[in-house]
Chain A
Amino acid sequence: AQSVSQHNHHVILSEAASLELGCNYSYGGTVNLFWYVQYPGQHLQLLLKYFSGDPLVKGIKGFEAEFIKSKFSFNLRKPSVQWSDTAEYFCAVNDSGGGADGLTFGKGTHLIIQP
C-alpha cells in the first residue's frame, strides 16, 4: 500500500520568504506524484504533477517540485511567497503502473503567509 508523509503540518512565513514543503512517499512500484492546493473556501486545485522525465517540474503560480527517487521525495518549492499563497497544500501519489488510479494523500500542510 502507498503512504505519503508531509512533515510540516503548519508553516508560517513572511511575504517574500522562500518556501519548501516536504513530501515523502512509500511505495514499492513506480508512482505519479502530485501537489494540490486548497485556498480558503475553494476547491482542491492541481498545482503540479510528475509522471516521468525531468525530475524538476514547474507548476502554476511560480511553484515547482523536485522528484528525488533515491529519497522517495517530492518537495514543493517557491522562491518568494505572497500573501495569496495562504492555503492548505496536499501531496498525493498514485500508481503509474496501471493499477489503482485513486490518489493517496498526505495529511496536508497549512501555510500562512503574513504580510
Chain B
Amino acid sequence: SAVISQKPSRDICQRGTSLTIQCQVDSQVTMMFWYRQQPGQSLTLIATANQGSEATYESGFVIDKFPISRPNLTFSTLTVSNMSPEDSSIYLCSVRDRDYNEQFFGPGTRLTVL
C-alpha cells in the first residue's frame, strides 16, 4: 500500500490569506485526489490531479480558489486561496493504486480559518 504524508498537519490562518498543503507519496502514482471534510460532514472530492495534465475540478470547486500543482508522480500541492472561516476543514490527499483499484488516504491537514 502507498504511504502518504501531508504537510502541514494542522494550521490556523487569518481570513484573506492562502495556505499551500503538500502531499508526498512513497511510490509513483498516476492519479491523486484532493478531498475536503468539513466539520461533522463527509468527505467531498475537490479535484483529481493527474501528472502532466490540468487538474479536473468537481462541481462547486474552482481553480482560482483551489489551485493544484502536480509536478511529478510522487508529489502534489493544494492551495486554499483567499481563505474564509467556511474553508475550515480537514483537507485530505488520496492516491489510487491502479493494480488493486484502491484509494489510500493521507493523514489530512486540519485547517482553521479565523
Contact = CB atoms under 8 A, between A and B. Distances in A.
Interface of A: 32, 34, 36, 43-44, 46, 49, 51, 90, 92, 100-108
B102 A101 contact: no
8 contacts: A32-B101, A43-B107, A46-B104, A51-B101, A92-B43, A103-B33, A103-B103, A104-B45
Interface in B14-36: 31, 33
Chain B interface extent, by class? 20 to 34
Contact of A44 (B48, B58, B92, B96): B92
Contacts, number: 41
Interface of B: 31, 33, 41-45, 48, 58, 92, 94, 96, 101-108
Contacts of B44: 105
Nearest to A51: B101
B67 to A, nearest CB: 18
Nearest to A9: B40
